[in-house]
Amino acid sequence: MGMLRWGAHLLLLLLLLAAATWTCAGAGAGVTSEYRRKLEATVDMPLDADVFRVPPGYNAPQQVHITLGDQTGTAMTVSWVTANELGSNTVRYGSSPEKLDRAAEGSHTRYDYFNYTSGFIHHCTLTGLTHATKYYYAMGFDHTVRTFSFTTPPKPAPDAPFKFGLIGDLGQTFDSNSTLAHYEANGGDAVLFVGDLSYADNYPLHDNNRWDTWARFVERSVAYQPWIWTAGNHELDYAPELGETVPFKPFTHRYPTPYRAAGSTEPFWYSVKIASAHVIVLASYSAYGKYTPQWTWLQEELATRVDRKLTPWLIVLMHSPWYNSNNYHYMEGETMRVQFERWLVDAKVDVVLAGHVHSYERSRRFANIEYNIVNGKATPAANVDAPVYITIGDGGNIEGIANNFTVPQPAYSAFREASFGHATLEIKNRTHAHYAWHRNHDGAKAVADAVWLTNRYWMPTNDDV
Ligand SMILES: *[C@@H]1O[C@H](CO)[C@@H](O)[C@H](O)[C@H]1NC(C)=O
Ligand SMILES: *[C@@H]1O[C@H](CO)[C@@H](O)[C@H](O)[C@H]1NC(C)=O
Ligand SMILES: *[C@@H]1O[C@H](CO)[C@@H](O)[C@H](O)[C@H]1NC(C)=O
Ligand SMILES: *[C@@H]1O[C@H](CO)[C@@H](O)[C@H](O)[C@H]1NC(C)=O
Ligand SMILES: [Fe+2]
């Protein structure tokens, strides 16, 4: 009988515990994933690594990459470098590799950085393309010709499906290489890249040869599908001690963006319309205060150029996150958040993607827009109009993982983990998109965090639990 009573007490205790756990989950506690990769050093791949190999042939075009050449992908800008001599600026293109019946003439540029001189950097925009069509293109006439291909995105339409890869802070380590390999295996159609490309500035004199190696490394993806570029702090290359005082010099010479087509006046902030998505790229390292060019442009963009009936999905890219519960880069995005958050909530932005912090985090739909210095309302609050904030700065660069989260996990934070990886955002139609994060340690196909997002304009349901 004694035993029986003890057993009943134990059962009651277990029930109470279960109830407590349930209540806790019901209150929406976020997850800090305990998964720990072995914290190996992240080292850059050596200069003689296979991925850095210069393509064979005299003056062969190298570092080939493409990005949209207009707002919707009826133009594509092809960039490449020739090392030995200028060579040809021409790109021939057409619907089969044997029938490159059209030609576009590009231009070239070069730059010096301290005692480094770049190769000949070519940019050529192919125009008059048809949406959702495969094209072959070739360059390097006069000497070594190389041929590639891409498929233009579908014409902007409310239910046009599209799969984006989401990558940030990639760098050129062995981990970077597995991030890229996993993304390739998961098969997106274009990459939204949230900044910090090569990390060349980690080398003495910002060794710009590491800009070249990075571009050779990622060519296997970005020569075949457009990557949408965001400028990060590692693109600044501002080094007055070296006499280099023009910010973004290597980045702007190498990576064009279609900013003019978006009514912007600088390459660092602009927008594109891909399938059913309107993607706005913001610049964390250009002025955004009231009356500045970026502020003026964004105000106009949201007021007059976003059309949720045509492109239901409104996605914003930036480098420095507004919602980041990692002690690494803590609150660095705060000034921009204070400036722009209300606009994004009013515009019912679906997702905000950022990098900078070398780990992974996904937020619930929260906003912090009530505070006015005197009312004390400074705590982020659940808001169904607010975006989901995703920090995807976990590409695997040389600076290593950011493994120090704030405790306790704030209410806005749904999931966070200090591992390298990439994500995909698969838009199905105007109401549904599937978001998934893949940690590198599990191979390409395993999903470590995933959520169905419902569109803020067409189906603003509670989708963040
Ligand atoms: C990088 O990844 C690719 C694809 O998995 C592989 O072929 C290549 O050998 C890797 N290179 C290095 C240096 O790890
Ligand atoms: C640039 O200067 C560094 C340091 O003096 C030197 O090691 C390097 O070889 C120089 N590079 C060129 C291209 O002259
Ligand atoms: C984590 O960050 C906090 C706040 O910056 C710092 O006080 C602490 O020492 C850090 N912990 C580790 C293990 O680095
Ligand atoms: C939109 O996609 C979701 C997810 O695939 C699906 O459940 C839903 O039925 C689709 N809506 C329409 C109108 O087809
Ligand atoms: Fe960064």
User: Above 80 in pLDDT, residue 41?
Assistant: no
Query: Ligand 3: which of 326, 330, 404 to mutate, judged by most atoms within 8 Å of the beta carbon?
Result: 404
Average per-residue pLDDT in the chain? 93
Report the nearest atom of ligand 2 relative to the CA of 117: 13
**What six digits make up the tokens of 30?**
């976020």
**Residue 442 and residue 290 in contact, taking contact as beta carbons nearer than 8 Å:** no
3-class secondary structure, 380? coil
- Distance between CA atoms of 105 and 123, rounded to whole angstroms? 9
Residue from 431, 451, 458, 459 to probe ligand 4 pocket by mutation (most atoms less than 8 Å from CB): 431
pLDDT band of residue 241 (cuts 50, 70, 90) is very high
Report whether pLDDT(18) > 50: no
pLDDT tens digits, one per residue of 343-389: 999 999 999 999 999 999 999 999 999 999 999 999 999 999 999 99
Atom index in ligand 2 nearest the CA of residue 114 equals 1
Task: Tell me if 361 sits within 8 A of 406, measured CB to CB.
Answer: no
Calpha distance 55→73 (Å, rounded): 28
Which residue matches tokens 């600088």? 266
Q: Whose CA is nearest to atom 1 of ligand 1?
A: 177
Spot the catalytic one: 278, 329, 358, 438. 329
Ligand 1 centroid, distance to 95 Cα (angstroms): 30
312: preceding bond cis by omega (within 30 degrees) = no
User: Has residue 7 got a pLDDT over 60?
Assistant: no
Tens-place pLDDT, residues 296-313 = 999 999 999 999 999 999
Ligand 4 centre and the CA of 430: distance in Å?
8
Note the pLDDT of residue 42. 86
Per-residue pLDDT band at 465 (split at 50, 70, 90): low
What are 394's two structure tokens?
Answer: 């976990």
Residue nearest to atom 4 of ligand 4 (CA): 432
Residue 218 pLDDT greater than 60, yes or no: yes
Name which residue sits closest to atom 5 of ligand 4, judged by CA: 428
Looking up tokens 């940030």, which residue turns up?
Answer: 168
pLDDT of residue 105: 98
Ligand lying closest to the C-alpha of residue 182:
1
Residue 24 confidence class, pLDDT cut points 50, 70, 90:
very low
Active site includes 441?
Answer: no
Measuring from atom 4 of ligand 2, which residue has the nearest CA?
A: 205
Mean pLDDT of 161-175: 98
Q: Which residue has the tokens 């390459």?
A: 267
Residue 186: count other Cβ atoms within 10 Å of its Cβ.
18
Which of 1-5, 144-148, 311-315, 357-361 has the weakest average pLDDT? Answer: 1-5
CA of 114 to the centre of ligand 2 (A): 9
Residue 116 scores a pLDDT above 80: yes
CB 242 within 8 A of CB 112: no
- Is pLDDT of 150 > 60? yes
pLDDT band at 16 (very low <50, low <70, confident <90, very high): very low
Cα–Cα dist 25/364, whole Å = 14
Q: What are the residues whose beta carbons fall under 8 Å from the beta carbon of 143, sequence distance 6 or more? A: 57, 58, 59, 60, 87
Residue with CA nearest ligand 4 atom 14:
429
Check if 51 has its Cβ closer than 6 Å to any atom of ligand 1. Answer: yes
Does residue 327's CB lie within 6 angstroms of at least one atom of ligand 3? yes
Atom of ligand 1 nearest to the CA of 174: 14
The domains found in the chain, sorted by start residue, are 156-195+268-454 (3.60.21.10)
Say what the pLDDT of residue 34 is: 76
Total count of residues recorded for the chain: 465
* Residue closest by Cα to atom 11 of ligand 2: 115
Containing 146, the helix (H) or strand (E) segment is strand 146-151
For ligand 4, residues with CB inside 6 Å are 428-429, 431-432
Atom 12 (ligand 3) nearest CA: 404
Measure the CA angle with vertex 446, ends 443 and 447; round to 5°.
130
Rg (CA), the chain: 24
Measured in angstroms, how far is the CA atom of residue 17 from the centroid of ligand 3?
A: 32
CB 180 within 8 A of CB 368: no
Q: What is the pLDDT of residue 97?
A: 95
Give backbone dihedrals phi and psi of 202, rounded to 5 degrees, phi first: -80, -10
CB-based contacts of 37, cutoff 8 Å, min separation 6: 401, 418, 419, 420, 439, 440, 441
Asked whether 241 lines ligand 1 (CB < 6 A), one says: no
* pLDDT more than 90, % of the chain: 89
Q: What's the predicted TM-score (pTM) here? A: 0.94
How far, in whole angstroms, is CA 443 from its chain's centroid? 20
Which residue stretches of 27-121 are H helix?
none
Res. 37 pLDDT band, cuts 50 70 90 = low
Q: Has residue 5 got a pLDDT over 50?
A: no
Residue 374: phi and psi, rounded to 5, are -115, -15
Model confidence over 57-112: pLDDT tens digits? Answer: 999 999 999 999 999 999 999 999 999 999 999 999 999 999 999 999 999 999 99
User: Separation of 439 CA from ligand 1 center, angstroms?
Assistant: 17
**What tokens appear for 302 in the block?**
């949201």
Q: Calculate mean pLDDT across residues 119-131.
A: 98
CA 177 – ligand 1 centroid, Å: 6
